[in-house]
């Protein structure tokens, strides 16, 4: 299983319980990413994103987050 399409196909064959187990595992994998994001946010490395959002809000150009095209 080397491609995302193969993984998606395999996931479709799982039972509800197996999908829940897979989701729990994926969320655990994401924990490291979350820790890095929290560290960067605390260090001020993401402050520019807040400023961009505030500017877009002031200029009335703020848009909704794009939805997935599955």
Residue 68 lies in a domain: no
Tokens read off for 61: 């150009």
Tokens read off for 32: 């490291």
Name the pLDDT band for 1 (thresholds 50, 70, 90).
low
Number of domains into which the chain is organized: 1
Residue 30 lies in a domain: yes
Residue 57: per-residue pLDDT: 94
Range of the domain at 21: 4-58
The answer to whether the CB of 2 falls within 8 A of the CB of 9 is no
The pLDDT tens digits for 10-58 are 999 999 999 999 999 988 887 888 899 999 999 999 999 999 999 999 9
Residue 63 lies in a domain: no
Residue 64 lies in a domain: no
The answer to whether the CB of 54 falls within 8 A of the CB of 47 is no
Residue 16: per-residue pLDDT: 95
């Amino acid at each position: 299983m080397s491609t995302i399409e193969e993984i998606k196909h395999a996931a479709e064959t799982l039972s509800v319980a197996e999908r829940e187990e897979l989701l729990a595992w994926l969320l655990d994998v994401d924990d490291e990413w979350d820790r890095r994001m929290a560290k960067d946010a605390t260090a001020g490395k993401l402050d520019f994103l807040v400023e961009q959002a505030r500017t877009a809000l002031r200029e009335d150009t703020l848009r909704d987050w794009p939805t997935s095209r599955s």
